[in-house]
Amino acid sequence: MAGPQPQAITLSAPQRTILEELQRQHSCPQTLAVRVQIILGAAAEQQNVPLAAALGCTPKTVWKWRARWAAAESQLAAAEAEPRALRQAITCVLADAPRPGAPDTFTAEQIVMIVNLACTSPSTVDRPVTTWTPRELADEAVKQGIVTRISPQSVARFLKSGRAAPTSQSLLAQRQDQSR
C-alpha cells in the first residue's frame, strides 16, 4: 500500500555543487552531513523510508528536512548569484532551528567589562579591599552600571569559565605578583 508521495526536491547546479562540497568536507559536523545526504537523496527522488533506513535516521527526520528545504527554495534561488552567499544560505537552511528558552542574561560586552574590571586594582575604583572577591566585583559592576544586577556566583563563573580563560589567567598572575 503506497502512502503519500514525498515532497519533490529540485536542486540547481550551484546548490548541488555546494552540497557535494559540504559532504566531502572533512570538518563537516555529522548532523550537517546527514542533512546534506537527505537533500541529495531527496533530489535523486528517493522515498523517505528507504532514505531514512540508509542514513540511519527516522522517516520523520527525512520528511522534516525535505520540508525545510522546499520552504527555503526561493531564499536559496535568490542567493545563487554569489557562491559565498549561497553557501551561507544552505548552511542556515540546514542548521538547527532556534530552541526555546530564556535569552542570555548578560551580553558578551558586559562579560568582557566585568572581566576587565577584575583585571584592575580595587584601589583604582576606591574599593576598600586589596584583591577582588566575586561579591566585590558584583557590587562594583552594578555601581558602575555595567549590569543592573548580578550574583557573585555569576561573576565567579565568568572568571572560571573558558569564555574568560585568557583574562582569568592574567588575573591570577596579577594576584600572584601582588602577593610577592
pLDDT at 164: 45
* Angle subtended at Cα 139 by Cα 134 and Cα 140, rounded to the nearest 5 degrees: 100
The pTM assigned to this predicted structure is 0.58
Overall average pLDDT of the 26-50 stretch: 93
What per-residue confidence (pLDDT) applies to 165?
A: 44
Per residue in 60-78, pLDDT tens? 999 999 999 999 999 999 9
1 has a pLDDT exceeding 70 = no
pLDDT in tens, 94-140: 999 888 888 888 999 999 999 999 999 999 999 888 999 999 999 99
